[in-house]
Structure 1
């Protein structure tokens, strides 16, 4: 889920990750830190190695160093703006799309959908 949320934030969407506990928030932060570092490292490599290009970063394959620096700024913006919360109301407010990515356990999935339904507004 953290990869989906980070890529969505990188693409300019407001992204909130709903977690089940404060401990989960700390684990998610660590994953997002790693993603940020991977994105930035790969983008830096793109400056000298055109084979390092990743489609998810830009539609354009041949980027100038200045354009790559702009992409790196988008990474930093996404990193700063992504929200981690345990609060269903905060996570669901104004949401246009909710993506569930918990373990493949039918009981857990049913529980999360029932909880989400109480906090989602009809659009």
Structure 2
């Protein structure tokens, strides 16, 4: 399967990092959030990540110790190549769509990465509603670090793709 469209559910610390890195790597990214308040709290996180990427890449021009594997393919890059990566970081922020809609989050989605709060009821409610809107092709992953994914597979509508 060729993954192009990624939806990240959640815009907290981990969700924002996953979404921004995905956009930086060239994926079309939609971030699903629960409320306008969540959108307002998430957007500054994305701007902060953009600034971190830009500052790190700029530092790589003069300091080999600043190299970051997730941002650049090699520590030995020209100034021009680094500037291209900086442009990519700027574009990443502009290419992220925020939505409160399950339908919009699921539309033509190839991969969903769930990164919402570690609350079983909220995860079940999210998966149950999202399942109504997902195309058959969509793969679902979780970023949960404290809960077993198998506890939620049945709610995804596609346990074999979770």
Regarding TM over 0.5, the answer is: yes
The equivalent of 1:41 in structure 2 is: 55
Kindly indicate whether structure 1 or structure 2 has the higher relative contact order, using CA contacts under 8 Å at least 6 residues apart. 1
Which of the residues 16, 28, 31 maps onto 1:17?
31
Q: Which has the higher helix share?
A: 1
Consecutive unaligned residues in structure 2, runs of 5 or more: 1-14, 138-162
Q: What SS does the aligned partner of 2:98 have? A: strand
Q: TM-score, normalising length from structure 1? A: 0.97
Q: TM-score, normalising length from structure 2? A: 0.74
How many pairs does the alignment contain?
123
Which of the residues 22, 29, 32 maps onto 2:43?
29
After TM superposition, the structure 1 = structure 2 runs for residues 1-123 of structure 1, keeping only pairs within 5 Å, are 1-123=15-137
Consecutive unaligned residues in structure 1, runs of 5 or more: none
- State the superposition RMSD in angstroms: 0.7
Structure 1 moving runs of 4+ over 6 Å:
none
